[in-house]
């Protein structure tokens, strides 16, 4: 499957905001966005273009895709699933994205970023209810338990991520047992509980046109 393999910081610069694609590094002075807060390319610095309404909607959709690391075809699939569910379409969309296995591995603190979490899942280091699941897009259901395989708990990326995961308690929809390398989805997060800077209404309007 095709995927973006270029510099992560270039995506942040394109969207004009931090997408926190590199985990802890994004909060340090090494962050490229802090040093170059302009769009990438030869005409990025000092170039201003009036953004149309369509452009505003498109950029919000692209920002959401890049935060969660999803290609267009799959993102559109999630949107269609959200439309069919009862409730607010935009909130449904974010709830689906948050319930992806790679996102929850990141949220519980097993990985420093979603891309690292995706790698852990792909390489078979993650268990769901004790069974190996190597599909990053797997949608975790209520009360399912996510854990790190016992043989993988000493991986440097896992140990460093868990040592740095000081704010995991803020996710009210997750029960996290760091000592035993486990996390459980205990409720579907409300919109105000999802800490992403996305205006989902713009995404709904984009796909509704």
Do 111 and 86 lie in one domain? The reply is no
pLDDT at 26 > cutoff 70: no
d(CA 205, CA 31): 32
Cβ contacts of 3 within 8 Å, gap of 6 or more: 71
d(CA 129, CA 131): 6
Q: What's the domain count of the chain?
A: 2
Tell the residue number behind the tokens 């699933």, with chain if given: 81
Q: Rounded to an integer, what is the distance from CA 160 to the centroid of its chain?
A: 19
Cβ neighbours around 171 below 10 Å, total: 21
Do 90 and 152 lie in one domain? The reply is no
Do 106 and 137 lie in one domain? The reply is yes
Q: Rounded to an integer, what is the distance from CA 138 to the centroid of its chain?
A: 14
Do 172 and 105 lie in one domain? The reply is yes
Q: What's the 3-state SS for the chain? A: CCCCCCCHHHHHHHHCCCCCCCHHHHHCCCCHHHHCCCCCCCCCCCCCCCCCHHHHHHHHHHHHHHHHCCCHHHHHHHHHHHHHCCCCHHHHHHHHHHCEHHHHHHHCCCCCCHHHHHHHHHCCCEEECCEECCCCCCECCCCCEEEECHHHCCCHHHHHHHHHCCCHHHCCCEEEEHHHCEEEECCCCCHHHCCCCCCHHHHHHHHHC
Do 122 and 182 lie in one domain? The reply is yes
Task: Give the pLDDT of residue 2.
Answer: 46
Contact (CB, 8 A) for 181 and 147:
yes
Band of the pLDDT at 70, cuts 50, 70, 90?
Answer: very high
pLDDT at 193 > cutoff 90: yes
Cβ contacts of 122 within 8 Å, gap of 6 or more: 134, 136
Do 27 and 61 lie in one domain? The reply is yes
Task: Give the pLDDT of residue 57.
Answer: 94
Q: What is the pTM of this model?
A: 0.79
Do 92 and 104 lie in one domain? The reply is no
| CATH number, residue 128 | 3.10.290.10
Do 12 and 81 lie in one domain? The reply is yes
pLDDT at 91 > cutoff 80: yes
**Average of per-residue pLDDT across 10-15:** 54
Task: Give the pLDDT of residue 10.
Answer: 56
Give the closest residue to 11 by CA, choosing from 19, 3, 1.
19
Band of the pLDDT at 164, cuts 50, 70, 90?
Answer: confident
pLDDT at 101 > cutoff 90: yes
pLDDT at 106 > cutoff 80: yes
In a domain, 192, yes or no: no
Contact (CB, 8 A) for 116 and 187:
no
The pLDDT tens digits for 54-63 are: 989 999 999 9
């Amino acid at each position: 499957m095709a995927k973006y393999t270029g510099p992560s910081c270039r995506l942040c610069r394109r969207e004009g905001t931090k997408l926190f694609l590199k985990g802890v590094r994004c909060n340090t002075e090494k962050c490229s966005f802090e040093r170059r807060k302009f769009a990438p390319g030869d005409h990025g610095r000092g170039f201003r273009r009036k953004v149309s309404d369509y452009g505003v909607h498109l950029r919000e959709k692209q920002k959401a895709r890049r935060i969660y690391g999803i290609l267009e075809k799959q993102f559109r699939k999630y949107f269609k699933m959200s439309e069919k569910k009862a409730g607010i379409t935009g909130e449904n969309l974010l709830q689906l994205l948050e319930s992806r296995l790679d996102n929850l591995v990141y949220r519980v603190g097993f990985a420093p970023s979603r891309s690292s979490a995706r790698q852990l899942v792909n390489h078979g280091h993650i268990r769901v209810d004790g069974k190996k699941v190597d599909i990053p897009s797997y949608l975790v259901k209520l009360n399912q338990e996510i854990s790190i395989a016992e043989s993988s708990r000493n991986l440097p990326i896992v140990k460093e991520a868990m040592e740095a995961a000081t704010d995991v308690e803020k996710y009210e929809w997750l029960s996290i047992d760091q000592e035993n390398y486990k996390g459980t989805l205990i409720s579907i997060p409300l919109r105000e509980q999802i800490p992403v800077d996305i205006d989902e209404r713009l995404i709904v309007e984009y796909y509704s046109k």
